[in-house]
């Protein structure tokens, strides 16, 4: 049962990191790799759990600052701000009225629904054609066409 626990921790952390880009859950998930293998060797769960906490803490303390520095300060990719992506300049239609960050809506692009916000002070009503200007995680920043 512990093997499944560690596998779920690793997969959830990978999924979370893909959607947040915060460089936190990737190190927590990486810390679960050694306990995963120890659980295959029938090491007691409390030993695995303590080891996981220690490894995750060391990885967060030692590697996260370097990762943040590399990606935020060298111009490679600023993960803390909306950016261009493969969705940039695609057009679609508003399905649920799109407002500011506090009032997101939904747009349909290429047959898929996406969470969307606008920088405009006026909400964009249903049925309006929009264009994607930037993305932030899985949220699209859109404007009227």
**76 — pLDDT class (breaks 50, 70, 90):** very low
Residues of the chain with CATH 2.40.50.140: 91-144
Contacts of 99 (CB under 8 A, 6+ apart): 105, 117, 118, 123, 124
**36 — pLDDT class (breaks 50, 70, 90):** very high
What is the residue whose two structure tokens read 């600052």?
Answer: 65
How far apart are alpha carbons 120 and 58 in whole angstroms? Answer: 43
**57 — pLDDT class (breaks 50, 70, 90):** very high
**Given a cut of 90, is residue 62 above it in pLDDT?**
yes
Specify the CATH class of 91-144 in words: mainly beta
Q: What proportion of the chain, given as a percentage, has pLDDT over 70? A: 90
Average pLDDT taken over every residue of the chain: 88
**Given a cut of 60, is residue 73 above it in pLDDT?**
no
Q: What proportion of the chain, given as a percentage, has pLDDT over 90? A: 66
């Amino acid at each position: 049962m512990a093997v499944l626990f560690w596998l779920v921790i690793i997969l959830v952390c990978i999924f979370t990191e893909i959607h947040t880009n915060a460089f936190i859950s990737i190190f927590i998930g990486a810390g679960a790799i050694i306990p995963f293998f120890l659980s295959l060797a029938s090491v007691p769960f409390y030993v695995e759990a303590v080891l996981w906490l220690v490894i995750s803490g060391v990885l967060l303390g030692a590697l996260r600052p370097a990762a943040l520095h590399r990606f935020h300060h060298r111009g490679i990719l600023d993960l803390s701000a909306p950016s261009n992506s493969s969705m940039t300049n695609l057009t679609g239609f508003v399905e649920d009225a799109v407002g500011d960050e506090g009032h997101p809506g939904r747009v349909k692009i290429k047959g898929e629904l996406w969470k969307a916000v606008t920088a405009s002070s006026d909400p964009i009503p249903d049925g309006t054609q929009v264009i994607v200007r930037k993305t932030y995680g899985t949220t699209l920043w859109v404007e009227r066409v």
